[in-house]
Amino acid sequence: METIKEIREQADERMQKVIEATKRDFAAIRTGRANPAILDRVLVECYDAQMPLNQVANISAPEARMILVQPWDKSLLSAVERAILKADLGFNPSNDGNVIRLVVPQLTEERRRELVKVLKKDAEEKRIGIRNIRREANDNIKKLEKDSVIAEDDSKKALDDIQKLTDKYIGEIDQLTANKEQEVMEV
């Protein structure tokens, strides 16, 4: 049988994972700046498998508006180029035989607004995830109270604790969203 402390720790741990996922997802959303994380989801068809781009090439951002992709195996250059085009990130790769250069175009006002909508939708999904973890933890605490394992006072205190945890992590998501929105809208 779980204790209140274990339930709280599990909820905290799971909510922290939601925050980490939020940070990862937000890093992949393109702003007007070159950010190698934009290419994290690109899969390259090579060696009879689909491999993440960052496992077959060095990715860097030497300038504010340019990403350089340098495959470790030169024979993968065209496969990497195809994968970037297929990912439909709005880049037009230019290949000089050694490296692929991606010029990050300036975002239009309309595109920025679309990205903010995507950002807010993603943030809401993460908030729902946090709330689901809260609901699960609350159900476990209520079950302990119902089974007379803990007193009503302990149950109320534990439920308050879980709510404080939820508020903390939802606040963190809101802050990440506000920061990323500001970054996207920055010209």
We report the CATH number of the domain holding residue 134 as 1.10.132.20
Q: Give the pLDDT score at 187.
A: 64
Handedness of CA 175, 133, 21, 87 (dihedral sign): negative
Same domain, yes or no, for 128 and 162? yes
Q: Residue 1: its pLDDT value, please? A: 65
Of 68, 103, 138, which residue is a domain's last?
Answer: 103
* Residue 53 pLDDT: 86
For residue 40, give both structure tokens.
């994290």
Same domain, 159 and 96: no
Domain count of the chain?
2
Strand arrangement of the beta sheet that strand 94-95 belongs to: 57-63, 66-71, 100-103, 94-95
What pLDDT, on the 0 to 100 scale, is given for residue 109? 86
Q: What is the CATH number of the domain that holds 93?
A: 3.30.1360.40
Q: On the CB side of 35, how many CA atoms lie within 13 Å of its CA?
A: 17
Strand pairing partners for 66?
63, 103
User: Which residue, chain included where needed, has tokens 């939820």?
Assistant: 166
State the residue range of the domain holding 90: 36-103
State how far the Cα of 52 lies from the Cα of 75, in Å rounded to an integer: 16
DSSP state of 107: P
Q: State the pLDDT at residue 133.
A: 96
**51, 69, 103 - which closes a domain:** 103
Three-class secondary structure of residue 3 per DSSP:
coil
Q: What are the 10-residue block averages of pLDDT along the chain, 187 residues in total?
A: 88 95 84 78 86 89 87 88 82 86 84 88 95 96 90 93 96 95 82
